Structure 1
Amino acid sequence: MKHVVSIAGTDPSGGAGAAADCKTFCAHGCYAMNVITAVVSQNTQGVRGYMNVTPEMIASQIDAVFEDIEVDAVKIGMVSVPETIRIIAGKLRQYKPSFVVVDPVMVATSGHRLLAEEAEQTLKEELIPLADVLTPNIPEAEVLTGRHIDDFASMEQAAKDIAALGAKAVLVKGGHRVEDATDILYDGEGFHYFKGRRVESTSTHGTGCSLSSAIASNLANGMNLADAVAVAKQYVFDGISHAEPIGKGHGPIHHFYSLYRKAGM
């Protein structure tokens, strides 16, 4: 069993953040661990507020994991302030995990900003260069590049621009495109297209967290990058398609659909 750690914020409603990450790791047969960066008050209807964990406590959590358990991959989610980013980047340089997947969580689905504006440059300088894979959606890619993205050509250019910041590979997620849900992966040499069809569903809470966590799990389990992305995308699609109606807003995906199906449930 491979060991994967989430470095992210919480979600007491269980659909996003560290909760979604750990569910996804387990669904992929990995041992799940988590380091909490922020305590977030949120549910399916939106984010109410959050409180950042101190850099010292974040560092202590990371040390507690890496000094005791072998880590095969790291997934990073909510890192809201410069101090949080710097301490995580320092620990990544110290421990040098095999795979680092960064989901640049900037704005929640509800529109609540989760990355302070003053932290954007720190993210570019400190964390993006350490990413084996960066997984921005279109709005996040627009913030990172300062360019408007409205077609595949601009998605490709954005991926190349972000890779120029140091990321080994960039997956620009197309879920915000009106026509389809095609994602584009730039691996430093060329582009891979992952076509998808849009699912009319309100069960989309935590999809970005779950996708990046699935990619991290697949990489830890030995898949190459393109396969890791393709399988992760199918996992999220199935999770949305078979989600249970939970909450009064945008509910979570069904993280364990394939396991329930195999069990005849």
Structure 2
Amino acid sequence: MPTMLRTSAAIALVMLLVGCAGPRVDESSASPSVTTPSASGSETPFIVTTTEPAKQVDPDSAVQPYEFEGVRFSVARLDLSQWDIRVVWDGEKGGTYLGEVDGDVLTNAGIFTPSYVPGGLLVSDGQQLVPLNLNGGEGNFHLLPNGVFAIMDDGTAEVVDSVDYSPDGVMQATQSGPALVLDGVIHPAFTAGSTNVAFRSGVGVSADGRTVYLAISDDLVNFDTFARMFRDGLGASSALYLDGQISGLWAAGAGRDIDLLLQPYAGIIAATRKG
């Protein structure tokens, strides 16, 4: 049974429709809406949970506490010579719980709809289960540029702008948005010192594609600080926002057993130690 770095403390049903004209940074406590290829207009966001950090972490755990500019995070640094990473989603049964997936480090994949369908591209073990979503719309997913996190058949990883995505050689992938950092450049819509803060999760990749960083904030954080944490703190050349309040990051030996996993996801990023 995996152990949890952040755990649900309360659940609130949020019925919020985004009504402004044009994409914007949605940094509220509500999960953003997604316009999928089969949908018209925005969808109602789904159940949101508030969270708190684990109080103890085993020093041998893959996920460790990390602090950047006074904001606390939990971070897994995964050398792909030592780790296998998959993207898992059971599309037939709807949402997938972290506790249902094998792995030493587990986190949610990208933003999804209320019916637990990924908001954009999802590739698992070389099979495309959901197509790339280049639709316009509201909410964080559609704040361009958004991006794709992918594991390639040569064992490297990448985060690319969705419009530059190519399926060649892709074994695992999840699409989300906004892209936090692309080739060292922070998303142009982010504002330093923004007071719009939330819990956030994301994935970053080193310049050589051989290290993946999975991170979740244990404190409220704005997008600019979150992006700079990946680039300036961890040294990632590119990074992608995964989701907000509902996010979770679990690791074996991280100091807290999970008795009940309340939040299903439409896609899980699962990392397993090689050997």
Query: So what's the TM-score if we normalise by structure 2?
Result: 0.31
Quick one: higher RCO (CA 8 Å, sep 6+), 1 or 2? 2
